A and B are shown apart, each in its own frame.
Chain A
Amino acid sequence: MKKTSLFDVRTIIGALMFLYGVILVLASFATSDADKAKSDGINANLWVGLVLLVFGALMIVWAVTRPIVVDEAELESDKRAVDEAAGRGTDDGGGAGGVD
Chain B
Amino acid sequence: MEAMASSILRMDANWVDYLLIALYFVFVLGIGLTARASVSSSIDFFLSGRSLPAWVTGLAFISANLGAVEIMGMSANGAEYGMPTFHYYWIGAIPAMLFLAVVMMPFYYGSKVRSVPEYMLRRFGPAAHLVNSISFALAQVLIAGVNLYLLATIVNALLGWSIWVSTVAAAIIVLSYITLGGLSAAIYNEVLQFFVIVAALLPLTYIALHKIGGWNGLTDAMDKAGTGAQTKSWPGTDLTAFTSSFWSVVGIVFGLGFVLSFGYWTTNFVEVQRAMASKNMNSARRAPIIGSFPKMLLPFIIIVPGMLAAVLVTPLAQMKHEGKTTGAGGITYNDSLLLLMKQLLPNGLLGVAIAGMLAAFMAGMAANISAFNTVMSYDIWQTYIQRDKPDHWYTSFGRWATLAATALAIGTSYFASQFPNMMNYLQTLFGFFNAPLFATFILGMFWKRMSSAAGWTGLVSGTVAAVVVAILSEGTLGSVSTGTIHLSGQGASFVAAGAAFVVDIAVSVVVTMATQPKEESQLRGLVYSLTPKEDLLDDHAGHWYTSPTKLAGVSLVMVIILNLLFR
Q: In the bound complex, how far is the Cα of B40 from the Cα of A7, in angstroms?
A: 14
Task: Provide the bound-state CA to CA distance between A92 and B187, in Å.
Answer: 32
Inter-chain contacts of B188 with A (CB < 8 A)? 9, 12
Given A79-B41, A100-B540, also A86-B111 (CB < 8 A) = yes
Q: Are A78 and B346 CB-contacts (below 8 A) given A20-B23, A96-B525?
A: no
Q: Do A86 and B113 have beta carbons less than 8 Å apart?
A: yes
Complex: how many Å from CA A93 to CA B118?
12
Q: Which residue of chain B has the shortest Cβ distance to A81 in the bound complex?
A: B112
List the one stretch of B146-154, B192-200, B266-274, B488-496 in contact with chain A: B192-200
A61 at interface, CB cutoff 8 A:
no
Known contacts: A20-B23, A83-B43. The answer to whether A44 contacts B349 by CB under 8 A is yes
Given A24-B352, A39-B346, A100-B540, A75-B112 contact (CB < 8 Å): no
State the CA gap A100–B539 with chains docked (Å): 8
| A interface majority secondary structure | helix
Q: Are B347 and A100 in touch, CB under 8 angstroms? A: no
Tell me the nearest residue of chain B to A78, going by C-beta. B50
A27 lies within 8 A of B347 (CB): yes
Q: Which of B20, B49, B210 contacts A40 (CB 8 A)?
A: B210
Contact B207 A40 (CB under 8 A): yes
CA of A19 to CA of B37 in the docked complex: distance in angstroms? Answer: 24
Q: Report yes or no: B51 in contact with A75, Cβ–Cβ below 8 A.
A: yes
Stretch at the interface among B27-35, B129-137, B321-329, B450-458: B27-35
B195 touching A17 by the CB < 8 A rule?
A: yes
| Interfacial residues of chain B within 413-470, with CB under 8 A of chain A in the complex | none
Q: A38-B345, A44-B203 are in contact. Are A16 and B24 (CB under 8 A)?
A: yes
Instruction: Judge if A85 is at the interface, Cβ distance under 8 Å.
Output: yes
B38 within 8 A of A: yes
Interface residues in A27-66 (C-beta closer than 8 Å to B): 27-28, 31-32, 35-36, 38-40, 42, 44-45, 47-49, 52
B56 — which chain A residues lie within 8 A by C-beta? 9
Selected contact of B191 from candidates A9, A15, A36, CB within 8 Å: A9
Given contacts A44-B203, A48-B199, contact A95 B521 (CB under 8 A): yes
A36 to B282, CA, bound (A): 48
* CB <8 Å contact, A96 and B347: no
Residue numbers in B under 8 Å from A49 (CB-CB): 348
Give the one of B53, B347, B349 with max A CB within 10 A.
B349
Given contacts A40-B211, A96-B111, contact A12 B27 (CB under 8 A): yes
Instruction: Indicate whether A75 sits within 8 Å of B191 (C-beta atoms), given known contacts A20-B20, A39-B344.
Output: no
Q: Is the CB of B207 within 8 A of A39?
A: yes
Please, which residue of chain B has its CB at the minimum distance from the CB of A79?
Answer: B43
Number of A-B contacts (CB under 8 A): 124
Q: How far is the CA of A83 from the CA of B114 in the complex (A)?
A: 10
Chain A neighbourhood of B352, CB < 8 A? 20, 24, 48
B50 near A35 with CB under 8 A, answer no
Q: A48-B203, A79-B43 are in contact. Are A7 and B23 (CB under 8 A)?
A: no
Identity of the chain A residue whose Cβ is nearest the Cβ of B279 in the assembled complex: A78
B110 touches A99 (CB 8 A): yes
Chain B residue contacts of A86, Cβ below 8 A: 111-114, 118
- Binary contact track B82-126/A, C-beta < 8 Å → 1, others 0: 000000000000000000000000000111111000100010000
* A20 CB contacts on chain B under 8 angstroms: 20, 23, 196, 199, 352
CA distance A20 to B210 in the complex (A): 23
- Given A44-B207, A79-B49, A85-B112, A39:B191 Cβ within 8 A: no
Known: A75-B51, A95-B524, A100-B539. A16 touches B346 (CB 8 A): no
Assess whether A13 is in contact with B191, with CB atoms less than 8 Å apart: yes
**B223 contacts the other chain (CB 8 A):** no
How long is the Cα–Cα vector from A44 to B203 in the complex, in angstroms? 8
- Complex contact B347–A31 (CB within 8 A): yes
Residue of B nearest to A95 (CB): B524
Q: Is B19 in contact with chain A by the CB < 8 A criterion?
A: yes
Complex contact A16–B348 (CB within 8 A):
no
B401: CB under 8 A from chain A? Answer: no
Asked if B192 and A82 make an inter-chain contact with CB atoms under 8 angstroms apart, the answer reads no
- Residues of B within 8 Å of A83, CB to CB, are 43
Query: Is B481 in the interface zone, CB < 8 Å from A?
Result: no
Give the chain A neighbours of B521 by CB distance below 8 A.
Answer: 95
B349-A24 in contact (CB<8A) = yes
Measured CA separation A39–B191 after assembly (Å): 28
- A16 touching B27 in the complex, CB below 8 Å, given contacts A79-B41, A83-B43: yes
Flag if B35 contacts A7 (CB, 8 Å). Answer: yes
Q: How far is the CA of A85 from the CA of B526 in the complex (A)?
A: 13
A28 touches B210 (CB 8 A): no
Q: Which residues of A contact B192 (CB under 8 A)?
A: 9, 12-13, 16
Roughly how many angstroms separate A20 CA and B16 CA in the complex, as a whole number?
A: 11
Taken together as a complex, chains A and B put the C-alpha atoms of A7 and B471 apart, in Å, by 49
A–B pairs, 11, beta carbons within 8 Å: A12-B27, A13-B191, A16-B27, A20-B199, A23-B23, A27-B348, A31-B347, A32-B346, A45-B349, A95-B525, A98-B534
**B→A interface (CB under 8 Å):** 16, 19-20, 23-24, 27, 31, 34-35, 37-38, 41, 43, 49-51, 53, 56, 109-114, 118, 122, 184, 188, 191-192, 195-196, 199, 203, 207, 210-211, 280-282, 343-349, 352, 521-522, 524-525, 534-535, 539-540
* Closest 3 A/B residue pairs (Cβ): A35-B346, A27-B348, A96-B525
Given contacts A12-B31, A52-B199, 18 further A-B pairs with CB under 8 A are A7-B38, A7-B184, A12-B188, A13-B191, A16-B27, A20-B23, A20-B199, A20-B352, A32-B346, A44-B203, A45-B348, A82-B112, A85-B112, A86-B113, A86-B118, A87-B122, A99-B110, A99-B535
